[in-house]
Structures are given as structure tokens and as C-alpha cells.
């Protein structure tokens, strides 16, 4: 089973609805709280933080040779 289908099944089992990327973006814009005059810096730092999380997972993959559990393995595929 591919990861997208597995995620949809997980959401369905928990009676959660899925949303499109456009819906997510619209909702995120409604709740975004940051100084608009510093938007570029703020959003860049947020993106950098997310990239850092991924880099840390790759680092551990290189160190350990494989993810420690199936959940972690699916997150980096």
C-alpha cells in the first residue's frame, strides 16, 4: 500500500476529513500570526526549521543505517 492511501485510510478510520492543498493554504492564511512587514524573514525561518527536521532524520539514517521503526521509515520515504 502506498503512503498516500495509508494516510487516507488512517484519516477515515478516525473520521477525519481530508482537505486539498488550496483549502489548507486558505485556512493557514487565516490563522497565520506574524508581523506582515517581516513576512519574508519569518516564513524563511519557518521553512528552514522544517528543513532542519528533515536533515536530522537523514543524518540519523546515515548514522544508524536504517530507521528505528516502520513509522519513521515511512516519514522519510
Distance CA 3, CA 71 (A): 11
Distance CA 52, CA 32 (A): 21
Grid cell digits, residue 4: 498516500
pLDDT band, residue 73 (cuts 50/70/90): low
Per-residue pLDDT, averaged over 1-10, amounts to 74
DSSP label at 15?
A: T
Distance CA 42, CA 29 (A): 14
Cβ pair 57, 76 in contact under 8 A = yes
Residue 72 has pLDDT above 70, yes or no: no
Predicted pLDDT of residue 49: 94
Predicted pLDDT of residue 67: 64
Per-residue pLDDT, averaged over 41-45, amounts to 94
Higher local confidence (pLDDT), 72 or 43: 43
Amino acid at each position: 500500500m502506498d503512503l498516500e492511501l495509508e494516510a487516507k485510510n488512517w484519516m477515515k478510520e478516525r473520521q477525519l476529513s481530508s482537505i486539498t492543498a488550496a483549502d489548507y493554504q486558505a485556512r493557514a492564511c487565516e490563522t497565520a500570526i506574524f508581523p506582515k512587514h517581516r513576512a519574508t524573514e519569518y516564513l524563511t525561518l519557518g521553512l528552514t526549521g522544517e528543513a532542519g527536521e528533515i536533515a536530522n532524520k537523514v543524518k540519523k539514517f546515515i548514522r544508524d543505517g536504517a530507521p528505528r521503526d516502520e513509522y519513521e521509515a515511512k516519514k522519510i520515504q
